[in-house]
A and B are shown apart, each in its own frame.
Chain A
Amino acid sequence: MAMLAFREALNQAMTEEMERDPNVFLMGEEVAQYQGAYKVSQGMLQKFGEKRVIDTPITEAGFAGLGIGAAMIGLRPIVEMMTWNFAILAFDQLFNNAAKIRYMSGGQFKVPIVVRGPSGAAHALAAQHSQSLEAMLAHVPGLIVVAPSTPADGKGLLKSAVRDDNPVMFMESEMMYGQKGEVPDGEYVLPLGVGDVKRGGKDVTIIAWSKMIHVALAAAEQLKNEGIEAEVVDPRTIHPLDETVILDSVKKTNRCVIVEEAWPFASVGKEIASRIYSQAFDYLDAPIGHVNGADVPMPYAHNLEKLMLPSVPRVIDAVKEVLYR
């Protein structure tokens, strides 16, 4: 067990997987010489050489498609998107090729690719660089969507993602790359599609993932002072969703708040709520509460940016509302 930053945990996962399997390689903008735009791939060029740690031109659709083609003949590419905002240029490759080749070929091909990079807002990056697009990716059958919240989860899930035979969309967070946590050494692999209870509680369930887990945990800590025991549940994988961990918690607490950075319309949180309503209807004592990013593009001004994003006070208010306090 070592105390590692999130970026170090991801680096460790990729390094270990590349050492284990010569068919794994890393490709993306600034991953090699520059040592990673966010230093996630630091030192990997020196370790594995130019053949396996590859700088690409800024051509997201091109290298995403190239990675998919390479995966069709047995390679296991890790394609780094400098951010998921730029990956929008490659969505045709991800939606129409990565997600569908197996299905439309009747199972003759598989596409074991990992596309990873930071998602969501950082600080003062304005509208085009501050988007949480997991709902768009999770909407497409054939893609697996992962959004870890801790360095240990990041390592364990990224190792699984590399080994998985499906295309895995791995969504990180720029704001969390420096965040430290205990990370098990060596072979630490977490299954995809299995959620985790980050904090136990009996009065209300707060569901969140990625960066929002930390907002939820901070809110839970404050709620404790008011005698409210919040349980914080992290699905970790968005699609396929671990319904069991969610439903078990809601059936216990009878109340639920979903916190997500993404826009509210047709969001992942709404999908989770729909499943709770249909499968745990009789356990609910209040309608599910939602805390989302505002339904606007991200503004630049610092004060407005804060207003746009979910915050601890907003989560506390939502919890009190579902508790009728």
Chain B
Amino acid sequence: MATVLSMKEKTKEARKPRWSDLGLSSARLVDFYKRMLLIRRFEERAAQEYGKSKIGGFCHLYIGQEAVGVGAIEALREDDYIFSAYRDHGHALARGMDPKGIMAELFGKVTGCSKGMGGSMHMFDASKNFMGGYGIVGGHVPLAAGTAFGTKYLGKDSVTLCFFGEAAANQGVFHETLNLAALWKLPVVFVCENNRYGMGTAVERAHAVWDIYQKASAYDMARGWFDGMDVIESYRAVKEAVDRARTSSEPTMLEARTYRFRGHSMSDPIHGHYRTKEEVEEQKKSDPIPRFAEELLRGGILTQTAVDDMEAEIKAVVNEAVEFADQSPEPPAEFLHENVYV
């Protein structure tokens, strides 16, 4: 590793973009940006529609954390599996699920991705191997070990990616699952989105060990953390873990250090009693979206015109999704009793 480079080589090395080793095309990088922007605009609009009572229940927005979902999911293949928790709209959009179906699900309409039966916390799409959003903190983590077990049992090389918040890493079943995944060498990647607060309780007030990824050390599992406000770092870390899972069937536990700019859910103020306005403003300086845009503009991969066009295009997509959701019918009354049993 310790190769000595000449000055010339050093200069050349320094001019290389930081993603040059990842084999990502310019188009792919633009796509990363576009997906993050879609999530941001979609979530902003979801908040508006929530205010208009078009969306009910809990509604946990992903604003601020877009780089984690997009970078991680971009590292997957179509035949890989994804589990999410209750903050799942961003993951669903990153997976390429139709914004119309996601918005319709939020509106509780039959055209929603879960036919209006799941809502904000339970987005499902079997056709995208999107195995669902789950509402019990940590409760879905063993399911991800299950699909990883299943693909291995069936002799397939699919990988399972499981998102959860840092608060889930205190749950018993999280530890049970990490143990089973390490013990049985399951092809699963655990991505812990550490947004610093489990609802309103800061990491320091809830965890004896603040480096969440270190919890995996108890199971001798490959582990690490990355900057969750940087889509490239997210992609890099998850891609490496996914490759390891696919080629040598080994699990990895990753901690994405990120931050949510909105409240825990729609009924929660942006900073509340548990964090200051100044803290939130400070964190917004590392907003992953403008940060990546600047980098792409600087590198000549994106032009301002293209950014503006993209904004307009996404606005239209979101408008269309809201219109579709608004005009879609509610599930018929028979749905009440359908799908309780097969």
Contact = CB atoms under 8 A, between A and B. Distances in A.
Interface of A: 23, 25, 51, 56-57, 59, 61-75, 92-93, 96-97, 101-110, 141-142, 144, 164-166
24 contacts: A25-B153, A57-B180, A57-B183, A59-B176, A61-B142, A62-B179, A65-B143, A66-B145, A68-B142, A69-B143, A69-B144, A69-B148, A70-B150, A71-B146, A72-B131, A72-B150, A97-B134, A97-B139, A97-B143, A104-B114, A104-B117, A106-B124, A107-B338, A165-B342
Interface string B133-160: 0111001111111111111011000000
Contact of B339 (A25, A62, A103, A144): A103
Contacts of A165: 342
B333 interface: no
Interface residues of B, number: 44
Nearest to A105: B124
> Which of A92, A103, A166: most chain B Cβ within 10 A?
A103
A164 B341 CA distance: 10
B299 interface: no
A144 B172 CA distance: 27
B107 interface: no
A106 B147 contact: no
Nearest to A25: B153
A250 B172 CA distance: 47
Interface string B301-342: 000000000000000000000000000000000000011111
Interface string B111-141: 0111111100010111000011011100111
A166 B341 contact: yes
A92 B339 contact: no
A292 B230 CA distance: 62
5 smallest CB-CB distances across A and B, nearest first, come from A69-B146, A65-B142, A106-B115, A62-B176, A69-B143
B274 to A, nearest CB: 27
B341 A68 contact: no
Interface of B: 81, 112-118, 122, 124-126, 131-132, 134-136, 139-151, 153-154, 172-173, 176-177, 179-180, 183, 338-342
Contacts of A103: 117, 339-340
B124 A72 contact: no
A169 to B, nearest CB: 13
Contact of B136 (A63, A92, A105): A92
Contacts of A110: 342
> Which of A56, A64, A66, A70: most chain B Cβ within 10 A?
A66
A66 B180 contact: yes
Contacts of A65: 139-143, 145-146, 173, 177
A96 B136 contact: yes
A144 B341 contact: yes
A105 B117 contact: yes
B146 A142 contact: no
Nearest to B119: A104
A66 B149 contact: yes
A150 to B, nearest CB: 26
Contact of B126 (A75, A109, A141, A166): A109
A142 B341 contact: yes
A51 to B, nearest CB: 7
B147 A72 contact: yes
A314 B334 CA distance: 45
Contacts of A102: 339-342
Contact of B153 (A51, A105, A106): A51
Contacts of A57: 179-180, 183
